[in-house]
Amino acid sequence: MAKRRPLRIFVVEDEALLLMQLEALLVAAGHEVVATAMSTAEALARIPTLAADLAFVDLRLGDSGGGIVVGRQLARTARMPVIFVTANERRIPVDEEPGPPPPDAGDNDLGGDYAGAMGVIAKPYTLHGLRTALDFLDEALRLPPPHRAPPESLFLTPAYAARWQIAV
Amino acid sequence: MEQAEARRLAGSEQAEFGRGAAFAAAMREARMPMIVTDPRRHDNPIVFANAAFLRLTGYERLDVTGRNCRFLQGPGTCPEAVARVRAAIRDEVDIHIDLLNYRKDGTTFHNALYLSPVHGDDGSLRFFFAAQHDVTDRYRMLEKCEQANRTLQGVLDLKTTLIHEIDHRVKNNLQMISAMIVLQSQSIPDPAVRRSLSDTLQRIEALSTVHRLLHQSETVSRFDVADFVRDLVTDLVGATGRRDIRVELDLASVVVAAEKSTALALLVNEIVTNVLKHAFVKGRAGSLAIRIGRAEDRVLLVVEDDGVGIATEAAGTSSFGQSLMRTLARQLGAELIVEGGARGGTRVSVRMPAAVALPTQA
Ligand SMILES: Nc1ncnc2c1ncn2[C@@H]1O[C@H](COP(=O)(O)OP(=O)(O)O)[C@@H](O)[C@H]1O
Ligand SMILES: [Mg+2]
Domains and CATH numbers, chain B: 2-134 (3.30.450.20), 221-356 (3.30.565.10)
Please check whether residue A141 is in contact with residue A7, taking contact to mean a CB–CB distance below 8 angstroms: yes
Summarize the confidence of residues A8-18 as an average pLDDT. 96
Please report the pLDDT score of residue A3 as a whole number.
58
Q: How far is the CA of B245 from the centre of ligand 1 (A)?
A: 17
Among chain B residues, CA nearest to A88: B168
Cis peptide before A124 (omega within 30 of 0): yes
B278: CB partners within 8 A, 6+ apart: B307, B308, B310
Query: In terms of C-beta density within 10 A (0-12 exposed, 13-18 middle, 19 or more buried), how is residue A98 classed?
Result: middle
How distant, in Å, are the alpha carbons of A26, A143, B279, B345 from that of A33?
Answer: 7, 21, 38, 45
| pLDDT surpassing 90 at residue A5 | no
Which of A24, A25, A128 shows the shortest C-beta gap to B235? A128
Asked if B174 and A20 come within 8 Å (Cβ–Cβ), the reply is no
How distant, in Å, are the alpha carbons of A18, A81, A90, A93, A117 from that of A84?
Answer: 14, 10, 12, 12, 7
- Nearest-atom number in ligand 1 for the CA of B270 is 18
DSSP structure class, residue A4 = -
Q: How far apart are CA B203 and CA B275, in angstroms?
A: 15
| B164 contact residues in A (CB cutoff 8 A) | 88, 90
Q: Could you tell me which residues of chain B have a Cβ less than 8 Å from any Cβ in chain A?
A: 164, 167-168, 171-172, 174-176, 178-180, 182-183, 186, 201, 205, 208-209, 211-212, 231, 234-236, 238-239
Asked if A124 and B239 come within 8 Å (Cβ–Cβ), the reply is no
Q: How far apart are CA A133 and CA A150, in angstroms?
A: 7
Please report the pLDDT score of residue B342 as a whole number.
84
Residues with pLDDT less than 50, chain B: 1, 10-15, 362
The pTM assigned to this predicted structure is: 0.75
How distant, in Å, are the alpha carbons of B172, B234, B245, B246, B270 from that of B307?
Answer: 37, 19, 10, 12, 16
| B209 contact residues in A (CB cutoff 8 A) | 126
Summarize the confidence of residues A1-29 as an average pLDDT. 90
User: Residues A68-87: pLDDT tens digits?
Assistant: 999 999 988 888 999 999 98
Cis peptide before A145 (omega within 30 of 0): yes
Asked if A17 and B164 come within 8 Å (Cβ–Cβ), the reply is no
ipTM score: 0.84
**A145 against B349, higher pLDDT:** B349
The answer for A 99-138 residues in CB contact with B (under 8 A) is: 122-129, 131-132
Q: How far is the CA of B284 from the centre of ligand 2 (A)?
A: 18
Q: Which of the ligands is closest to the CA of residue B269?
A: 2
Q: How far apart are CA B312 and CA B307, in angstroms?
A: 15
Cβ B308 under 6 angstroms from ligand 1? yes
Q: How far apart are CA B159 and CA A149, in angstroms?
A: 37
Q: How far apart are CA B145 and CA B148, in angstroms?
A: 5
- Ligand 1 pocket test, pick from B233, B245, B276, B310 with the greatest ligand atom count within 8 Å of Cβ, gives B310
DSSP structure class, residue A60 = -
Enumerate the β-bridge partners of residue A122. A86
Range with the poorest average pLDDT among A14-18, A37-41, A93-97, B202-206:
A93-97
pLDDT above 70 as % of chain B: 91
Q: How far is the CA of B321 from the centre of ligand 2 (A)?
A: 5
User: Residues B108-129: pLDDT tens digits?
Assistant: 999 999 999 999 999 999 999 9
Query: In terms of C-beta density within 10 A (0-12 exposed, 13-18 middle, 19 or more buried), how is residue A83 classed?
Result: buried
In degrees, rounded to 5, the angle at the alpha carbon of residue B271 between the alpha carbons of residues B270 and B272 is 95
Please report the pLDDT score of residue B295 as a whole number.
82
Q: Which of B338, B314, B330 is nearest to B264 (CA)?
A: B330
Please check whether residue B347 is in contact with residue B341, taking contact to mean a CB–CB distance below 8 angstroms: yes
Q: Which of B160, B182, B228 to mutate to test the interface with A (most CBs of A within 10 A)?
A: B182
- Ligand 1 pocket test, pick from B193, B266, B277, B278 with the greatest ligand atom count within 8 Å of Cβ, gives B278
- Nearest-atom number in ligand 1 for the CA of B273 is 21
- Ligand 1 pocket test, pick from B195, B236, B274, B327 with the greatest ligand atom count within 8 Å of Cβ, gives B274
| pLDDT surpassing 60 at residue A92 | yes
Longest dimension (CA), chain B: 117
For chain A, which domains are there? 8-163 (3.40.50.2300)
Please check whether residue A137 is in contact with residue A121, taking contact to mean a CB–CB distance below 8 angstroms: no
Q: Which of B175, B188, B197, B201 to mutate to test the interface with A (most CBs of A within 10 A)?
A: B175
Q: How far apart are CA B101 and CA B106, in angstroms?
A: 9
Task: Please state the φ and ψ torsions of residue B305, each to the nearest 5 degrees.
Answer: -125, 165
Which of B178, B231, B239 shows the shortest C-beta gap to A124? B178
DSSP structure class, residue A130 = H
Q: How far apart are CA B213 and CA B174, in angstroms?
A: 14
Q: Which of B57, B59, B181, B164 is nearest to B108 (CA)?
A: B57
Please report the pLDDT score of residue A94 as a whole number.
65
Asked if A18 and B174 come within 8 Å (Cβ–Cβ), the reply is no
Q: Which of A11, A126, A132 to mutate to test the interface with B (most CBs of B within 10 A)?
A: A126
Q: How far is the CA of B246 from the centre of ligand 2 (A)?
A: 20
